[in-house]
Structure 1
């Protein structure tokens, strides 16, 4: 890490970049999409949907906006990028502004099925034919034989204690909060550096290991690495960073021995649910696909369907499987993951990260993912599946 004198000299040499970076930081802190897209009344609508024999479309309610979308848009596009003399960095910040502006449009249209879905496509894209083929290929494999590690017997309080113990191997603070308004069983809020645990759920031993390596081992590692970078874009996020970040996170599950065929199948269901959106499926149609055609139990099928249909059609979940494939390919080639842990960065911007490091505007990582150091155990079936994804 550079010392205070070097940091002062760096800021003086690149004052225009740091000024714009700081302006964007103040704006981005107000637009964390996941804090708006998760419904407030999930359990109530789940009960109503089940009571209707899976026919009535859930009527989800969402948090109210805490910002003026028009004003935020205007402030994003008022940044004087022409003051940045370096062409490479000016182009990078231009792409970052467009990405954040699209994120604002997503948040602004949550609850509007048509508008939100198309805004979601601009940010997250839709499953490709290759993604769908990979998902169906995975679903040909049966779950492993059940064992005690898969039984959901741990309370949210016990999960909290497990995560606190797991985080002791990392040199950063772990803030934990319980929530009833998240679609996942646990997730990281990047802005508050907090691990959120779903209040009304139970966890299995395998799930705790999975979530710990996914959420703490990658999402919090990249959060805190990003905070230590000279430029805030590493903390706030590069354009379209979700695929890389989720790929790294699921790969952490794989290296720690937590990844199972059941978990891979879950990621495959998510791709098919996201694909159902472009086909015009209703909530009930997607649920029918996952529950009745693919025989996933109704609680898990509801969760998969909710994640895809929240907001009006949310395609983010299609990126976990494609992200894993890209990171696994990198691993098989013996390439380091360190550059991708420098913050909320994107594989496609690897050259930009190296360029910024060459100028002293980015640093090597402080926190590493411990699971990446050594693969915990062999699973020949998993390796075979991952090696054969297209």
Structure 2
């Protein structure tokens, strides 16, 4: 067990705490979402999909250069444990990369290259996987489970009811200025619901398992460790986190072909970005070549092109496949629920638990207890992805 009196341990906790304070200032999603999506959508549709939107972004309220300097001023060499020293070096490089993303939002290629460095881009195999999924027919769009029926207030009641099985509490807010229909804000333990959206049964089943069952579970577990890195995020945690969340949709029996195709369209959109396509061409690729309705095509294109080119969206599908394989190999999902962690650091997480720097997960995703998926086609697709 750790010796609190040791200088090395004291240095580790001081650095971990200091990084935690700095990270609170750099919530990338707070800055990369345009503030004039709806106005630009009307103009884009009026232009017959030819003129690229001119998006505006929230102003940045921190000193970017100073923040870089504070990250790199940490006395990492005081951490005697070589394994943890290497981890915290990687953490600092990762967060410095995110600051570079934020400071170049709206600057076209500059932002795109920083995004590329932080999140990567789809491989040819990822694109082939996406095209494979798009060959399948979606479920009947008019089916009862896809019919919009719940207001924002009614959705909140359903979220609250679902959450009763978990031993934690959180805030719920309503917003009319968000791209997603629901999202968890990790740093303030809050679920935000889109005030403008009417929710279907399928959406509620998906969102309860995805947002509460994984994102909120990992938020709450992340707060229980002596080290705060579990709460604000390991390097490259997004792929694992979204993979776990979509896998929860699968395990609860709510992952549809329609949803898998949505994730596939995101890969196609990010790939078109990597090919140098402008916004209008990515949109026309989705809408004209792949027959995606224009509303969905617009929002998926926004997600990929926001900021100047945000590549993160392809990670949902790669993350899902990695978690699916991990589960099929009979490995422990619990270690991935310890916080905002990533698959590549599993051995480090176990090491930190063994050393007393971390704890086992208190909250466990309900859907992971039993596989309720009965859709053989979904299984076939997930097995076939390479």
- What TM-score do you get using the length of structure 2 for normalisation? 0.97
Report the counterpart of residue 48 of structure 1 in structure 2.
43
Counterpart among 263, 266, 289 of residue 267 in structure 1: 263
Cα deviations across residues 161-191 of structure 1 (Å, max 9, x unaligned)?
Answer: 2111111111111211122332211111111
Compute the RMSD of aligned alpha carbons: 1.4
- For residues 109-258 of structure 1, the aligned pairs below 5 Å read 109-146=104-141, 147-258=143-254
Counterpart among 357, 360, 377 of residue 356 in structure 2: 360
Report the counterpart of residue 372 of structure 2 in structure 1.
376
SS in 2 for 1:197: strand
CA distance in 1, matches of 2:191, 2:5: 33
Matched, 1:322 2:280: no
Cα deviations across residues 27-83 of structure 1 (Å, max 9, x unaligned)?
Answer: 001101011111111111112211221122111111111211101000000000011
Cα deviations across residues 184-221 of structure 1 (Å, max 9, x unaligned)?
Answer: 11111111111111222222110111111111111111
Cα deviations across residues 303-330 of structure 1 (Å, max 9, x unaligned)?
Answer: 1101001111001110000000000001
Report the counterpart of residue 26 of structure 1 in structure 2.
21
CA distance in 2, matches of 1:163, 1:45: 32
CA distance in 2, matches of 1:12, 1:219: 35
Contact 1:213 1:252 (C-alpha < 8 Å) held by counterparts: yes
- For residues 329-348 of structure 1, the aligned pairs below 5 Å read 329-348=325-344
- Please identify, of 39-48 and 318-327, the stretch whose mean Cα deviation from structure 2 is larger: 39-48
- Gapped runs of 5+ residues in structure 1? 1-5
CA distance in 2, matches of 1:156, 1:59: 30
CA distance in 2, matches of 1:208, 1:301: 22
From the superposition, tell whether residues 13 and 122 of structure 1 become closer, same or farther in structure 2 (CA, over 3 Å).
Answer: closer
- What TM-score do you get using the length of structure 1 for normalisation? 0.96
Report the counterpart of residue 84 of structure 2 in structure 1.
89
- Gapped runs of 5+ residues in structure 2? none
Question: 1:152: Cα distance to partner?
Answer: 1.9
SS in 2 for 1:368: coil
Report the counterpart of residue 3 of structure 1 in structure 2.
none
- For residues 260-299 of structure 1, the aligned pairs below 5 Å read 260-299=256-295
Question: 1:283: Cα distance to partner?
Answer: 0.8
Contact 1:82 1:90 (C-alpha < 8 Å) held by counterparts: yes
Contact 1:39 1:181 (C-alpha < 8 Å) held by counterparts: no
Report the counterpart of residue 63 of structure 1 in structure 2.
58
Contact 1:183 1:306 (C-alpha < 8 Å) held by counterparts: no
Contact 1:39 1:182 (C-alpha < 8 Å) held by counterparts: no
Aligned residue pairs total 385
